[in-house]
Structure formats: C-alpha cells, structure tokens
Structure 1
C-alpha cells in the first residue's frame, strides 16, 4: 500500500525483507483507489528513484529536500 492504493509486487524478492504483507481478496483490492493519494512519496526499491504522486502520476525528484516535509517514502517494486 502507498497513499491508500494497493501496489503491485512482481515477486517477494523485489522488495526489502522482512516486509509486512497481507493477502487480500481481489474484490477488496478492486474497491480501493487505483492510484496513491497526491503527495505520496514512493521510492523505486530497484534503482532508488524517488517520486511524488500528483494527479495519479509519479513525478521524479532528485531529493526529498525539494518537496514539503512529511514522513518519508514507501518502497515500491520498480
């Protein structure tokens, strides 16, 4: 989950572990938002790229110092 939206994971090896996860029925996932909420910060775990979501689109940033302060990012599968 990132910003209230479910995030797809290609395999368990694509994410840092131990990482908490929960198996959720497909109908529950279908009812969730399709995109993370605006302002959500995510980090591509594969290459370290940091993005801030706006309008459902991840905009790349060179540093978290370039965005308003808030909790850190959520690691996602690239």
Structure 2
C-alpha cells in the first residue's frame, strides 16, 4: 500500500474498505467510479431514470452501486442528478 492510500484508507469505515477492495479485485483494479452526467465512468453505461431517482432520494452517505458493473458510484456536482 502506498503512503497516500494508507492515509485515505484510515479514514474509511472498515466494511466500506473491504467492499472496495473486493470490487477492485473483481473489476480489474477499479472498485469505485465517478457518476458523471448520469453515466457510470467505470462501465460507461448511462443509468436508467429509476436508478437516478433512487440515487437522488438516497442520503449523501449512502453507498450507491452501479446496477450494471456493481462498482461503488461516487456522486459529485457533475453527476447529473
């Protein structure tokens, strides 16, 4: 583990870090992806309107996953929500 990753990982809940590491191993090194303009940047698929509505309604600290590739989705102001 690099020093930077160690610092960041120390601030992430253990169960979320475990999920991320599992997904990373399964998904070719990428366990989380940015939700950008209503699309998962991991698999490049646009999310369905029902998925987007669920994400909009979810609390900001809820872990959201892409229905297509199952990566953790990182929401930003550019997510298109």
User: Structure 1-normalised TM-score?
Assistant: 0.25
Kindly indicate which of the two structures has a greater share of residues assigned to helix. Answer: 2
Kindly indicate which of the two structures has a greater share of residues assigned to strand. Answer: 1
